[in-house]
Protein backbone atom coordinates (compact mmCIF):
# COMPACT_ATOMS: atom_id res chain seq x y z
CA UNK A 1 0.00 0.00 0.00
CA UNK A 2 1.53 3.27 -1.12
CA UNK A 3 1.43 6.50 0.84
CA UNK A 4 -0.72 8.04 -1.90
CA UNK A 5 -3.37 5.34 -1.55
CA UNK A 6 -3.41 5.79 2.23
CA UNK A 7 -3.87 9.54 1.82
CA UNK A 8 -6.63 8.98 -0.75
CA UNK A 9 -8.39 6.56 1.58
CA UNK A 10 -8.11 9.02 4.47
CA UNK A 11 -9.45 11.82 2.29
CA UNK A 12 -12.42 9.70 1.22
CA UNK A 13 -13.14 8.79 4.85
CA UNK A 14 -13.09 12.44 5.92
CA UNK A 15 -15.35 13.43 3.02
CA UNK A 16 -17.80 10.69 3.96
CA UNK A 17 -17.79 11.77 7.62
CA UNK A 18 -18.50 15.36 6.58
CA UNK A 19 -21.24 14.23 4.20
CA UNK A 20 -22.89 12.10 6.89
CA UNK A 21 -22.68 14.80 9.56
CA UNK A 22 -23.93 17.64 7.33
CA UNK A 23 -27.70 16.95 7.51
CA UNK A 24 -27.68 16.67 11.29
CA UNK A 25 -25.51 19.73 11.76
CA UNK A 26 -27.56 21.85 9.36
CA UNK A 27 -30.84 20.88 11.01
CA UNK A 28 -29.40 21.59 14.44
CA UNK A 29 -28.12 24.96 13.25
CA UNK A 30 -31.47 25.89 11.71
CA UNK A 31 -33.52 24.88 14.75
CA UNK A 32 -31.09 26.63 17.08
CA UNK A 33 -31.36 29.79 15.01
CA UNK A 34 -35.16 29.69 15.00
CA UNK A 35 -35.33 29.07 18.75
CA UNK A 36 -32.81 31.86 19.32
CA UNK A 37 -34.90 34.31 17.32
CA UNK A 38 -38.01 33.19 19.23
CA UNK A 39 -36.24 33.66 22.55
CA UNK A 40 -35.01 37.10 21.54
CA UNK A 41 -38.47 38.16 20.39
CA UNK A 42 -40.24 36.93 23.52
CA UNK A 43 -37.38 37.67 25.93
CA UNK A 44 -37.55 34.15 27.34
CA UNK A 45 -34.05 33.35 28.58
CA UNK A 46 -34.47 29.67 29.37
CA UNK A 47 -31.34 27.71 28.52
CA UNK A 48 -33.13 24.37 28.17
CA UNK A 49 -35.75 25.68 25.74
CA UNK A 50 -33.59 24.97 22.69
CA UNK A 51 -32.74 21.43 23.77
CA UNK A 52 -36.09 19.69 23.17
CA UNK A 53 -36.74 21.13 19.68
CA UNK A 54 -33.20 20.23 18.63
CA UNK A 55 -33.56 16.66 19.89
CA UNK A 56 -36.90 16.26 18.10
CA UNK A 57 -35.54 17.77 14.88
CA UNK A 58 -32.43 15.57 15.00
CA UNK A 59 -34.61 12.50 15.56
CA UNK A 60 -36.79 13.40 12.58
CA UNK A 61 -33.68 14.00 10.46
CA UNK A 62 -32.28 10.62 11.43
CA UNK A 63 -35.62 9.03 10.63
CA UNK A 64 -35.64 10.47 7.11
CA UNK A 65 -31.91 10.59 6.30
CA UNK A 66 -30.89 7.51 8.30
CA UNK A 67 -31.35 4.96 5.51
CA UNK A 68 -29.34 7.11 3.11
CA UNK A 69 -26.61 7.63 5.71
CA UNK A 70 -26.46 3.90 6.44
CA UNK A 71 -26.30 3.08 2.73
CA UNK A 72 -23.39 5.50 2.21
CA UNK A 73 -21.49 4.10 5.19
CA UNK A 74 -22.15 0.49 4.16
CA UNK A 75 -21.03 1.15 0.59
CA UNK A 76 -17.79 2.79 1.76
CA UNK A 77 -17.09 -0.07 4.15
CA UNK A 78 -17.81 -2.66 1.44
CA UNK A 79 -15.42 -0.93 -0.99
CA UNK A 80 -12.80 -0.69 1.74
CA UNK A 81 -13.02 -4.39 2.59
CA UNK A 82 -13.02 -5.42 -1.07
CA UNK A 83 -9.86 -3.38 -1.68
CA UNK A 84 -7.87 -5.22 1.01
CA UNK A 85 -6.58 -8.02 -1.27
CA UNK A 86 -5.28 -5.46 -3.78
CA UNK A 87 -3.58 -3.43 -1.06
CA UNK A 88 -1.63 -6.38 0.37
CA UNK A 89 1.02 -7.65 -2.00
Q: What is the pLDDT of residues 24-71, one digit of tens each?
A: 999 999 999 999 999 889 988 888 888 999 999 999 999 999 999 999
Cβ atoms of 85 and 32 within 8 Å: the answer is no
Question: Quick check: is 61 in a domain?
Answer: yes
Q: What is the mean pLDDT of residues 12-17?
A: 96
Question: Quick check: is 40 in a domain?
Answer: yes
Question: Quick check: is 89 in a domain?
Answer: no
Assess whether pLDDT exceeds 90 at residue 89: no
Question: Quick check: is 80 in a domain?
Answer: yes
The model scores a pTM over 0.75:
yes
- Number of domain units in the chain: 1
According to the model, what pLDDT value does residue 88 have? 79
Note down the domain range covering 38.
17-84
According to the model, what pLDDT value does residue 58 have? 95
Question: Quick check: is 11 in a domain?
Answer: no
Question: Quick check: is 5 in a domain?
Answer: no
Question: Quick check: is 7 in a domain?
Answer: no
Q: Which of 12, 14, 33 is nearest to 22 (CA)?
A: 14
Amino acid sequence: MTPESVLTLGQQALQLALLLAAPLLLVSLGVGLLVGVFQAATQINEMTLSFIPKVLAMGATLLFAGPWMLQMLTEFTRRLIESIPGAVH
